[in-house]
Structures are given as structure tokens and as C-alpha cells.
Amino acid sequence: MTTDTTTQDTTPGANAPGEAVLDARGVTMRFGGLTAVRNVDLTVNSGEIVGLIGPNGAGKTTFFNCLTGLYIPTEGEVRFRGDVLPPKSFKVTAAGIARTFQNIRLFGNMTVLENVLVGRHTRTKEGFWSAVLRGPGFHRAEKASRERAMELLEFIGLERKADHLARNLPYGEQRKLEIARALASEPGLLLLDEPTAGMNPQETRATEELVFAIRDKGIAVLVIEHDMRFIFNLCDRVAVLVQGEKLVEGDSATVQGDERVIAAYLGEPFDNAPGDEEIAEVEAAEAQTDAPGKETDR
């Protein structure tokens, strides 16, 4: 596994190496009587790729939404670079956390370049009057944005399709474009929600390379994924979420060897054993993860 963190071409949003970028402490999320996430701690250090796995319904996406400002945790707090996260998703992005979506949410009727330019929104200031009056500042900012966006498109290898409509891109390129759009906001932490869902092995390999390249830019990455091979190849640390609780956290070997994880996935009863029905559910979920074109859990 390649863990050399070359931070030569650091991006403006990059972090100082070694420091905790994201620090979630005791995050609990209740919806009425249902506790979707219970007392989860998770830290992501700069230059790290952290994986978050768990069977379907384990609360991964709920936890994710707590990190992106869509939900405000019922208990506990999430700190980003030492500050508690603001409660609005656009403010979270401005603070430096960018995300992609499990089901691709590009702006389909905008061009590839425009999609990335939208990602630059928080890092530019030009308002309505600037746009109408078109002073020199506007042209300068617009030019800089376009250059930055083209750099990102080159980074993901879509520079030749800059003028295509996003909806017309093939699936794998749409996923890449979503990542480029997220990178355009110059994040310190990138959250990827199932980045390889629906991809074939080659595309998964390419995504892996891309995530390493992003890490090498000095951006911390948190990945939710079902594809175990992908996760264990990629991540420096892996956290396993089962039924809303963090079961174990550690490097790939630790997690792969942990019998509670195997139990959670393969269905042998563990300490606070779930009933047979839950096991069956988990097994079904496991079966699904191996099938190509698996269903999304939202």
C-alpha cells in the first residue's frame, strides 16, 4: 500500500500534515425514537484516507449527513479544523468540507466546465452588480476561475469534454466530474459517498488512483463504500459502523482480521447478538454488495 504523502503540489485548501482535520466526538443522531447513529467518534487527520464501512442501514449516510451540515447531531459535536461545524450545508462547504453524492447529482443541463465553476462559488465573491457592470475585477476573477476549473478538469482527464453537457457524459466520467466539482471548492476534507457504486473493475481502479492523487494534493478523504477490496486497498484507516455504533477502527489488516466485523457481515452472533432477522438482513446486504449494479441504500 502506498502511504507516501507527497504534498508538493498542495492546493489552496490543503492542510498542514499530521493535524486532525475532522474530529467527530460522541455524535448521536435520533429521529424520534429511532437512534440512527449512537455515540460515534471519528477523527480524520490530514493526508489520510479514512474508510467508513458497514452493512446497509448501519447509519453511514446519516453520519455522513451530520458531517455535511444536512443534519445537526442530537448529541455530540463535529469539529472541522478546531471549529464546530456550522448548521447549514453551504456554510460547511465554505468552511472546507466538500462532498459527492451516492446517486450522482450533477447539474445535468450545464456544461462540464460550468459544473466545476459552480463548485468555485464559495471561493469567489463577484456578486450581481459586478456581473452587470463587468469591471476589470470581474474579468480577472472569471478568468482565474476558468483557469482553475480547467486545471481540475485536466486533473481528472476531462479537459477535452469541457463544453459537453454533463448529462451526456458516460457514468464513470460523471462520477469523476462530481469529484472535480467538489475539489473546485478547495476543500480540506473530501467526503466521497460510494464513489464506485455501479462501476466496473477498471473504473474502480481508476477511481482508486484518483483518490490517491487527491490525497497527494494534501486533502484528507473520507470514503463510504461497500466494495471491500476498494476500501482495503485505499484506506489508511477503516471504521466499521454497525447498527449506528462504531464497532472497530484500525488499519485494513486489523479490521479484516476482527472477528466482530466478520460476524457483522457474515452473520455469526456476537456479544449483544442481533436476532435472526437482522442477520438475514445483513446477509442479504452482503450478498448485494458483491452483485454488480447493486442498489443504493437511500
Partner 1 sequence: MTTQTTAPQTPGTPAAPAQSGLIGIPANIARALTLGGAALTIVSTFMSWTWTSDFPGDLTVYGYPGGLQVLVLIGSILTTLFSLAGYDIKGLRHLVPAGGDAALRFAALATFATAWYTVIAISDELGGIVNLDPGGYIVAIATLATLVGALALPFEKPEPDPIDPDDDSWEKFKNKAAHQRATIKAAFAAGAPRPVGKLPSWAEILVIVAVMALGLTVFTYGIGTQYDELFIGFLLTAGFGFAALNKSGLVAQATQITSRHQTITVFGAFIAAALFPFTQTDDQYATIGVYILIFATVALGLNIVVGLAGLLDLGYVAFLGVGAYAAALVSGSPSSPWNVHFPFWAAVLVGAAASLTFGVLIGAPTLRLRGDYLAIVTLGFGEIFRITVQNLDGTSGPDITNGSNGISSIPDLNILGWNLGATHDILGFTIGRFANYFLLMLVITAIVVLVFRRSGDSRIGRAWVAIREDETAALAMGINGFKVKLIAFAVGASLAGLAGTVQAHVTYTVTPEQYQFAGPIPPNSAFLLAAVVLGGMGTIGGPLIGASLLYLIPNKLQFLGDYQLFAFGVALILLMRFRPEGLVANQRRQLEFHEEAEAPTVLSKTGA
Site residues (vs partner 1, CB under 8 A): 68, 88-90, 93-94, 98-99, 101, 105-111, 113-114, 117-122, 124, 126-128, 130-132, 134, 138, 141-142, 145, 163-165, 167-168, 181-182, 185
Q: Classify 264 as helix, strand or coil.
A: helix
Residue 178 CB, nearest approach to partner 1 (Å): 9
CB atoms within 10 A of CB 236: 19
Q: Of 167 and 229, which CB lies nearer to partner 1 in the complex structure? A: 167
Residue 63 CB, nearest approach to partner 1 (Å): 16
Q: Of 71 and 232, which CB lies nearer to partner 1 in the complex structure? A: 71
31: closest CA among 89, 83, 86, 71?
Answer: 71
Report the residue count for the chain: 298
**Which are the contacts of 28, defined by CB distance < 8 A and separation ≥ 6?**
35, 37, 38, 39, 40, 73, 74, 75, 76
Q: Of 11 and 185, which CB lies nearer to partner 1 in the complex structure? A: 185
Residue 116 CB, nearest approach to partner 1 (Å): 10
Burial 107-132 (b: 16+ CB within 10 A, else e): eeeebbbbbbbebbebbeebeeebee
Main-chain dihedrals φ then ψ at residue 82, nearest 5 degrees? 90, -10
> From the centroid of its chain, how far is CA 116?
17
Q: Of 113 and 228, which CB lies nearer to partner 1 in the complex structure? A: 113
Q: Of 72 and 165, which CB lies nearer to partner 1 in the complex structure? A: 165
**Residue 173 and residue 185: Cα distance in Å, rounded?**
19
Angle of CA points 227, 231, 234, to nearest 5°: 140
Residue 194 CB, nearest approach to partner 1 (Å): 15
Residue 51 CB, nearest approach to partner 1 (Å): 21
Q: Of 221 and 242, which CB lies nearer to partner 1 in the complex structure? A: 221
Residue 224 CB, nearest approach to partner 1 (Å): 15
